[in-house]
Chains A and B, each alone.
Chain A
Amino acid sequence: MSPAAASPEVMGNLKPRRPPPSQSPATSSSSSSSSKRSSEMGATKAKRSAGFVTRTKDFLFVNLVPLGTSPAQIPTNLFQLVIFHIYHTVLIFLHIILSFYYLFARQYYMAKNNFLAFLYHHHRTPQLIAQDIKGLAKTPQHVGIILNYKENEEGGGIEGLMEQVADVVSWSIGACVKTLTVYERTGKLNKLHESTYKVINRTLKSYYGETIPVVKLRTPHDKTVYPEEMVTEPDLNIAFISQEDGREFLVELTREFAYKAAKGEFEPSKLTVDNVDRLANQLVITEPELIVLFGPKLDLDGFPPWQVRLSEIYYAPYNNSVTYNVLLRGIRRYSKCKINIGR
């Protein structure tokens, strides 16, 4: 992320380089397909030498431009090459300016995050959380959060994830949320209900004292529930989902119906939006009203596409931790109430 990251590309770097593998076939014919050309090389000498010249040219021009240049832009003669590099120098200059801008923006947003974290703190008291959301026109019933698994970092690892979930659970119960969906791309917590449950209860104890709220854990992908027997209705339903519940779920569904249809047991016209929606609600999760990202930028990271339809998406720029004020700001955004400071 350093400003100089893109800069040494400027001129005359003769190291062998290949254009990106994702070239579109339509435009590559003009310059870079030397392998195709080599196969076309005919028997006559003239043809062979011409092939050699174009191949050398291809090599030079393809390798004199930075990686990631679109094939249509690869220069074909010396004049174009010079012009290309003049423009490219300007582009690198703009990138560097942008990097400096990011540097300042980062400071600004981090200061703002810290200030808000100081101003709105839960102090492990549910009454304070209730006060923070009091007077909002509406609060979300179903909140989805996107967590990022971090390895080798302070507050990272599986334990770190569990702590984060436990924190968000405590805040959500305070904010009258009924369903919480925890999305983590790799599904690290999907099979760890028991230990997660323990961590959640320990955290809840520090918020609510002895009579702690009841939570229920669920992993739709494995169809597992914890605790298996509930005496009372839970205060908060928690669903753990991962990338497998997104596109893969829809693919699995299609495959299942395709098998049935091949045997003549299913009428394809029954596969309507409503029916798929019903199945997605039953088998995975319903649509969250609010999705809060605890990452530094807007990236849904593979959250189930079917379920993000109308969800309000909230993220705090440059924030990289799971904090109460980000969730609170998300809920406020959802309710259309503006926070008085800052925005």
Chain B
Amino acid sequence: MAITSWIRTFPLVQYLIAWTQEIFMSVLKTGPVPQHVAFVMDGNRRFARRRKLEVREGHSAGFESLAHILEMCYQVGIKVVTVYAFSIENFKRPTVEVDALMEIARTKLLQIIHHGDLADRFGISIRVLGQRSMIPPDVLAAIDKSTEMTKRNTTAILNICFPYTSRDDIATSMREIVTKSEKHELDPETIDERLLEQHMFTKDCPPLDILVRTSGVERLSDFMLWQSHQNCTVEFVNCLWPEFEPWRFGSILLKWSRSKAVEFRKMEMERDQKQL
């Protein structure tokens, strides 16, 4: 660790790293590219504890990491990034911590949309998915402001799940459909998977391609259950979120790109055989 950070102090090294990353992304772009990637940003608190920092600093480090990942997504052309920021279950944590997390959310949201920062730089439009009714009013104001200010950006979408659980997402979707049916707005016979999906928070996003969970925990923890239980690559990474470095994400993308390329290759061969 010490050696790498020492090497990074050399002149031009930072520039070289950035350049390599850019080239690598251009290379990846010529193959299959995922449309929708989701992250469970786990391990900020543990990171802080391990380095004897304050919890707040741990979350800040996590935010830095997110900024890096967003940059890579922008370079490679990923359309939608969904991150798990706060679970409905997290409200069960001590009030002091919940308040602190809310404060962080508010300031970070305002920071993202700050002129010339993240959102502007990468053309990200921000959406907040989850139960709005549970959010305190000052945070809600920040959310509305950020969605409003970034809604004209079209390059990519950043979904922030706050406060979210996948079960709540599914149940809400079911409830909406049943309510519509009660008002005779739709025929119960037409209810299918697609309709349920169209009533979920992720309704206008492409299907999920990759789900990454950091900190070595091998559970989905109520995140994107419906979206990730089939036709989706789930990656459990054994490092904390602030330590989730670009090369790790790069290798996940390369692995995905290879498996898709092989799939396409098989498809092509089957089609060629049919033509013969």
Closest to B218 in A: A313
Is B188 positioned at the interface, with any CB of A under 8 Å from its CB? yes
Q: Mark B247-263, 1 if CB is under 8 A from A, else 0.
A: 00000001101101111
Q: Are B261 and A254 in contact (CB under 8 A)?
A: no
**Given A70-B77, A273-B168, A254-B178 contact (CB < 8 Å):** yes
Cα A269 to Cα B171 in complex, Å, equals 10
User: Of residues 228 to 276 in B, which have CB atoms within 8 Å of A's CB atoms?
Assistant: 228-230, 233-236, 254-255, 257-258, 260-265, 267-268
Q: How many A-B residue pairs have CB under 8 A?
A: 177
Q: Which of the residues A73, A95, A268, A314 comes within 8 Å of B182, measured between beta carbons?
A: A268
Q: Are A306 and B264 in contact (CB under 8 A)?
A: no
Cα A313 to Cα B216 in complex, Å, equals 11
Q: Which of the residues A91, A266, A271, A273 comes within 8 Å of B30, measured between beta carbons?
A: A91
Q: Are A306 and B225 in contact (CB under 8 A)?
A: yes
Count A interface residues, CB 8 Å: 63
Cα A66 to Cα B193 in complex, Å, equals 32
Q: Are A69 and B229 in contact (CB under 8 A)?
A: no
Closest to B88 in A: A273
Q: Which of the residues A246, A248, A255, A266 comes within 8 Å of B229, measured between beta carbons?
A: A246
Is B69 positioned at the interface, with any CB of A under 8 Å from its CB? no
Cα A155 to Cα B188 in complex, Å, equals 44
Interface residues of A (CB under 8 A from B): 1, 5-6, 9, 17, 20, 24, 65-70, 72-73, 84, 87-88, 90-91, 94-95, 98-99, 246-248, 250-251, 253-255, 257-259, 261-262, 264, 266, 268-269, 271-273, 276-277, 298-306, 308-314, 333
Closest to A95 in B: B258
- Interface segment out of the listed B21-29, B104-112, B113-121: B21-29
Is B220 positioned at the interface, with any CB of A under 8 Å from its CB? yes
B interface secondary structure, majority: helix
**Chain A residues within an 8 Å CB radius of B182:** 258, 261-262, 264, 266, 268
Is B179 positioned at the interface, with any CB of A under 8 Å from its CB? yes
Count B interface residues, CB 8 Å: 59
Q: How far is the CB of B26 from chain A (nearest CB, A)?
A: 6
**Given A67-B264, A305-B229, A253-B167 contact (CB < 8 Å):** no
Q: Which of the residues B174, B221, B230, B265 comes within 8 Å of A276, measured between beta carbons?
A: B174
Cα A141 to Cα B274 in complex, Å, equals 50
Closest to B168 in A: A273
